[in-house]
Structure 1
Amino acid sequence: MRVTFTRTGERRYAVTAERPVGDRVAADPAPGFHAHVPHDLVHFVVERQLGLREGIYGTLADGGDAGTFRPLDEPYSKKWARRNTRPIGRPDMARSERLAQLVQGAWEVRHAARPTSPGIRAWLDERAAGVDPALVDELVDRLDELAPRWHALRVGGSITLDWPAPAHPGPGRRR
């Protein structure tokens, strides 16, 4: 699956996925704009690096809508929603959200984009409980590769990344 992150405004972005099931979906606007590391880009890094198949991007690759994506090649309808809805709240989704928050916060602390007040440190420590610090460093390093590319984009510019093929190929599959 090809996933494109596009800067659509000064403080807005969209995420488009060209899925192996043959259609395209988008979240526009996508949540959590950040000038250096938008929230959904952090999710992508976390889920890809950890092989989370039931987070946002694994759900999309599996034919779902991840709760926020809409079709680009056909009108949104109840039929489309029934065909593309997958359960939200699976363990991978919760893990992805927790780690995305932790990794984005750690990236901001590394680059002094967020003050390291006792409250911020406690918030990060809470999310880091039970997480290998080396893993966090590895994920922040990956963001360090992508952040300059994202930050340099002008409105209309984009970054396209590849998501691995789903574990269960074929349209209309369910778990």
Structure 2
Amino acid sequence: MDVIFRRTGERRYAVVVEVAGKQPQAMDPAPGFDDHIPHDLVHYIVEAELGLTSGVFGRAASGGGTFISAALGDLSPRERARERRKQLRRETSLRNADEGRQHDMVTSERLAAVCDLIWRRRQGQRPDASRPAPRESLSSEDARRVDRVVVRLEELAPLWNQLPVGGELAFTWPSVVPRAPGRQDERRVV
């Protein structure tokens, strides 16, 4: 699966998910734009770096998630509703499986908030007040995990910050290393 974070405006971005053999799906505009690093990019790095396979992006790779298929616009309203119901059933099944096992989505949300906060403090920024950090303290294992993610955020934030409108960072799930600009992946659906 390819995950693309595209700067679509001065204060907007989109997340595009391309799963082999399926039409691209997108969230445009995506929530939590930030000049330095957008919220969903923090989530991606948390999930990819820590191997959280049932978070936002692991679920998208498995056919769930909340991304909207670009092809739905070409379908009749009835067909769109049917496709959306199928996706919602897959998402419900994936959520139930996650709740019964590892709780990746909860971990992703919690650690994304902590990583964002710590990264901003290290950069001398004020944390986003709309995203308060969890109140409970981190275990030593989680502290090590957060440190790993924050190092990745420190590497990626300058790349995001330098993107012009229309520029993008593209990853192949679950890699935390962006693909070279302009590289076309042969799995991409055209």
Q: SS of the residue aligned with 1:7?
A: strand
Gaps of 5+ in 1: 166-175
Residue type at the aligned position of 1:100: A
Matches within 5 A, 1:15-164: 15-64=15-64, 66-67=65-66, 69-75=67-73, 77-85=80-88, 86-87=91-92, 88=95, 90=99, 91-114=103-126, 124=133, 126=135, 128-130=137-139, 132-164=142-174
For the aligned residue pairs, the C-alpha RMSD in angstroms reads 2.1
Residue type at the aligned position of 1:16: V
Gaps of 5+ in 2: 176-190
Shift of the alpha carbon at 1:164?
3.8
| TM-score, normalised with respect to structure 2 | 0.75
Shift of the alpha carbon at 1:125?
6.5
Provide runs of 4+ in structure 1 moved above 3 Å: none
Counterpart contact for 1:21–1:61, Cα < 8 Å: no
Shift of the alpha carbon at 1:41?
0.2
Percent of residue pairs identical: 43
Counterpart contact for 1:102–1:127, Cα < 8 Å: no
Partner Cα separation in structure 2 for residue 111 and residue 78 of structure 1: 44
